Structure 1
Amino acid sequence: MAGRGTRGLTRAVLIILLLPGSLEECGHISLPIPIVRLGDPITASCTVSRNCNHQGLKPQIQWKLGAELQPGGKQQGLPDGTQTSTITLPHLNHTQAFLSCCLYWGDSLQILDQAELRAGYPPAIPDNLTCLMNLTTNSLTCQWEPGPETHLPTNFTLKSFRSRDNCQTQEDAIPDCVPEGGQSRCSIPRKHLLLYQNMGVWVQAENALGTSVSAQLCLEPMDVVKLEPPRLWALDPRQEPSPPQPGCLWLGWEPWKQSLYVEQKCELRHQPRLGEASWVLVEPLPSKTLEYELCGLLPATVYTLQMRCTRWPLPGYWSNWSPSLELRTTEQAPNVRLDVWWQQRQLDPRIVDVQLFWKPVPLKEAGGQSQGYLVSRSPSGQPGPDPPLCNTTELSCSFHLPRGVREVALVAYNTAGTSSPTPVVFWESTGPAVVGLHATAPDAHSLWVGWEPPSPLPQAYVIEWGLGPPRPSSTNRTWRMERNGSITGVLLRENIRPFQLYEITVTPLYQAAVGPSQHVYTYSQETAPLRAPELHLRHIGKTWAQLEWVPKPPELGRSPFTHYTIFWTNAQNQAFSTLLNASSSGFVLHGLEPASLYHVHLMAVSRAGTTNSTGLTLMTLALEQSELHTLLGLSGFLLLLIGLCGTAWVCCSPSRKNPLWPSVPDPAHSSLGSWVPTIMAEETFQLPSLRDPGMPPITKVMVLEEEEKKPGPWDSSDSSEFCGLPTLVQAYVLQGDPRAALPLQPQPHTSDQVLYGQVLGSPTCPGPGSYLRCDSTQPLLEGLTPSPKSYENLWFHASPLGSPVPSAPSQGEDCVFGPLLDFPLLQGLRVHGVEGAGGF
């Protein structure tokens, strides 16, 4: 293949070299329009000069679009010998492609000329034209949206002119502005502008298929000016006449230098640095003071501030937001009331151990981050003659009080001061407790606690929860206070972990009294039991096995079993299974094989998952000796019965054509007609005549095998000269239908010939017999038979008087027959097979 291609290429090169001119001089493509709208038709023509006809044949011009041959070219010859081909492409679906005009040179297709085809769309109208006057670059920058892709090179030009009215008339043209690098924006320099004179601006888009123009924009350059943002800074509060109030900020700014003489207004926005709060916009600020005090903020909070400005009251664009400035507001003393709870324990008759808990102060009400908490016996919360009971930054503390002290004070403090004291009164448990306390776990990270409200209704509830026993209940406990005394339940989501036991306590709070606490235990989420019940074998037999197990009692935090599944597998890895309900404690496996090995295991299923028990291996019992003998005896008896039935069917079936032995009737008690068995239709065949061609058709050939006998007086030494048949097998031929009954009244005077044969020989002579067919018309019987002998057939008894008596055989008759068999008359006797003659 490579050699043939190389030879073809070499031949083409040689042809090109031998031509008077190059291939470029052979053909030329002409295109009316090289660029069309995408999907439109295009027509091209190619002219081939007569110098290209190197073989004296008419050249066949071929067209290719890209790498594909294009059919449909119409070729015609001109008087000067040149050939012209024209092709029309109905749909040009390529944005760019090469159309080639080709000729076959040798075995290759050579390109004579190529033309580039382009397809696309005309430019869309540019949209959204906007212009901004930038005082930093001192130029007017306009930008636009070019529209959808045209697939063709498209040129955009920003055109403008100056006008003294509303751009209805054009005074001075401004040089066109062409964007660089395919951008959709362009800037007109300041030297071509009059800042306070109207000018008309528009964009023109152009490509090979057309031109489009945007809407005209009439503007004054200073009306579209965009200022630069100002610069922010924080003012020193110590230099101000009065210090800033808590929640206020002092700030100043400096305008952009280029806009110092431009009247403008500015906007300020702020948001807390922490959290997800949105920006808050402040009303336009005065531009002459350049200072501002921002109040209404959270104390001790860091805020982010930004500012922007615009030309005002004349039109203009807002500047960008200034760089961010972060300032922190001053602190103020906390001004909230703390939620407090306690627990008491009697140490001795005079001392009580108190553990006090409180909730953290919310940030928006705290006035600043609290530095610590102070617990004292003074009702005012201020340090008195006695030292404070507790001074900590934690949310709890423990202290000792003398028996009989019922009240302490709790305050929060920071650098700005202390909060109002929160009195804590240790009331006695005199109110009623909640009733019907219960808890459930909706999911792995929450607990629902419900109860029945007591009577009278309390003012609030205190709910405590933490890990239950065996862990100490006083550590890592969480609590909350619900001030609505009519609620009947609450959802706990704080500090809940899955698969844990929780202790929940609910205490009602009354006016100047506390009710007894009630406890309940629950799991946050139930898990599957650790193990399934252990499987045991109770009894086993030859084909069955009884299994039992003890169901596991319910466990806290463990999902109860819903059902069991028993699996067992035999030695051939055949698996079986059955499903039982959760109340079952035993099962009997049936249908097992004796003396076989089985593997059994139990799987317990709960709502939380499945658990498998340990496996159990068992062996079924083997069959006993007596049972084995009984089984073998039954099998043998069954096989014997099947054999006898098969033998009887083989012997007695009437449909069989070849029984195991021939059915030969007793000749002393039957006639020749009864000796002839039923002839099936498919057994009939014809045997050609041995001598006479006019012999009637022969329907049966019977084969007799003669036993060896001693030679007798009936043997003929010259019988072989009449018949040359084999000596061991002789054929007896019966004409007509052997099933037809022999006539009782023979017709001696009929003209029909009767063919028969005569058998010569002695039953006692061992010499070989002969069989000859005779054409004699002599009757078989010439006279009456007085009575049949013991060896004669019974049909002679039915012969009427006057029937012919057979004559004695002699050597002078028409034919000499073969040796006799055991019976003299064997006409009609048919014995199938050579082996059937052995019985006679």
Structure 2
Amino acid sequence: MISTWVSVIVMLVASVNGARNEDVIQPCVTIQTSGSVVPLGSRVTATCVIRDDCLLGTGHIEWRLGDRFIPSSPVSSESGRVSEVVIPSFNHTREFLTCCLQASPIQVVGGVEIRAGYPPEPPQNLSCQTNLTTPNTLTCCWDPGQQETHLLTQYTLHTEIWDMNKNYTYKLQTGVPHYTVPRSDFVLFSEMKIYVKAVNELGEASSVPIVLEPVSAAKFDPPKILEVEAVPKKYGCLKLRWSLSQHQAWMSNLFLNLEVRLKTADSNQWSEQPILVSRVKPTRSVDQCRLLHGTRYFSQIRVRYKQSPWSEWSSSQSGVTLESAPTGHLDSWMRLSGDHTHKQLNVHLFWKPSKQFRANSQNVSYIVSVQKLPGEKGKLCSTMGNYCTFQFPRKAKKVYLSAVNAVGKSSPTEVRIYQPKARVMISDITAVPRDDQTLLVQWKNVDTSSLTDHVVEWRPLLKTDLSLTQFEIIDRNQFSLLITGSFEPYKPYRISVYPRFKDGIGLPQTVNAYSRQKAPSMVPKIRIKKTWQSHIELTWDEIPLDQRNGVIQSYKVFYWDEKGPINVVNADTEERRVVLKNLNALSLYEAFLMVSTFGGSLNGSTIHFEIEPFDAVTVVMILTASGVGLSLMIIFIVLTCFSNHKRLKGRFWPVVPDPANSSIKRWTSESSQETHLAWDRDEPNPIYLSHLSFLDLPMKLSKQEDDLWLNSAEDTSDLGESICGSPFIPGYSGSNSDSVPYATVIFSGPCSSPPPKEPHVYLRSESTQPLLETEESFSPKCYQNMATDGMPREQCFFGPSHDCVAEEGADPAILWDDFPFLRALAMNDTQND
């Protein structure tokens, strides 16, 4: 915009202040420069001259380059209206230089536009190609150079046909570095010179000319292979018959250059270096030898004329060389399974061709035998595949593997049967993908001194076909292997490394690997397994292997309530459970599960749950604690009662004396006055015999009461029988009687008091409580009493008994002397009588 206005100002000044001289308008201001187009960065000089007769203002002359003032130097003149300026380096591709008078405002009196750039470079890499399809054309292209000229550059294509002495020049479009010459301007079999010229305001340049025959610059159509067949009586040779395309068949007499490339049927790669056949006509077949015997080959060809570009490769055709017997040995790998203790082992034998093995046939079968020469007797299996399974042959330490075809068989490969060893030699195995078709397997070895080699085995996990198992045998000192193959993305592969010894195979280390990973295809549903106060346990199922799409790296549970922030808990990949703690009761929570692999993550569905203030677990814990406390209290009470059972028994169940089994006979008058401290399990406690007490009565019982007492014992022969409740008493019915008479002896004082001075009496009591009874006999028992000489003797009391016989010469009075209480009763009885 500034440049436009400057041009307008210069034109106005020139038109208004110009002077007419012989009908020619002379400008008032003249600017002279070293050039309007200069090389970029070069020196530029300019001079401004103002005519004296022009009616312009007065003032000092100044220079401006664009909107910036630049210093100038005045030129000596009488009027002082001449000025010169020098620009040491012009670094603008396009800019206005103006001459001004210093006034208020500044007056622009003249100006000029200066452009800068570079001269063109010679065009590079000129090449031409002839198109033989209808219509025929010749297309040339080139490289204009890397440097920008900043100036308008014009390109032209020049051709010279020497045989016809014709020259053609073609003006090219700006910025289009190619041109197509029409068919009328060239001859296929006549040489011509071709070059490109570039021209701009600073100069011109031409490319290096090329001389060519248009047909030699032609790119032929892909040829066609007519047939591939084996050469008779030549092993490893194939004959190829071919022709040009239908549109180029008219050039079948030309001598062309031919290239052939081959690959076997089981290979994915073509031969690295194609086979060149020079100067061959399309009507002539081509032989290819030094090939494998009995092998199917796919072949492709391409052609060119002299130095013309190669045609595209033809379509593939296959052929099979002549068969011969297999040669070389096979690489094998054996894995055992089954019951090792009973030697019931299944042998899985895998094999593959070694680098030296040649099948030399399309139909090859393999025989595994216990004999070196394969026969029906020792044959274990025969298959067309690359593996077989057979039972472990007893006493066999090796088997033999042979390849057989219609022509013959190979030399047998000896395969040793390795026993499994429970030895761990491999650790830290990893498998990292390098690309979609390559996995790098690495591991560490504990000890390599006893190893012979390593075996790396891999197979797809989602397929059970054993024929897909691949293996590689590597040196014992090698701890990595780059395995290649057609690995499917997002599918798991199991890779195992086995250590192999001279006498067996050690335990493998295994890892699952993916050539490429992505997010899982599904996320398992979260389940609530258990809840308790402020805690909840969540669990989920394992993702199916075919939907993982990679190695599971983490499970993350996101949960939040209505008001709180989002919390994240990481779960163990093996346990697949988390426990959410410190949850608020009566708050509604939401949660979802995120599953991640190296290839991405996927979120599952959201669940809702709420924590009750008292859940079933809390109630059970409270009831359990209460029950345990109550049980402990009951146990404590019971133990306390048992510790004082004799005292409690005396309170609730009083002990009734059984005179029939009493030890009162052994009491003496002296011992009865002392407190008995001994405890006897067989005898009643003397304390309980306090029921047999003596009381002093102030008056004599009445005659009626006395008779009642006496009448109740009319059939007794002794006082003891009335006390004991003898069964001979009329009306006695044993323990089932409603009332059993017994006597309570009343003392005037405790047992430890002195003997009473007054005679004692006894009373008969009618009690409803049954007396202790003996089941053995109704007669009183005989008791042993110690005689004065220290020897025991038997004495009877409470009347005569047939079980007891009085000692000869014994005094009957001794019986009452030994029982002082009974003697007192006897005296009271006499008194009463």
**What range is the shorter-chain TM-score in?**
0.3 to 0.5
> What is the TM-score with the length of structure 1 in the denominator?
0.42
> What is the TM-score with the length of structure 2 in the denominator?
0.42
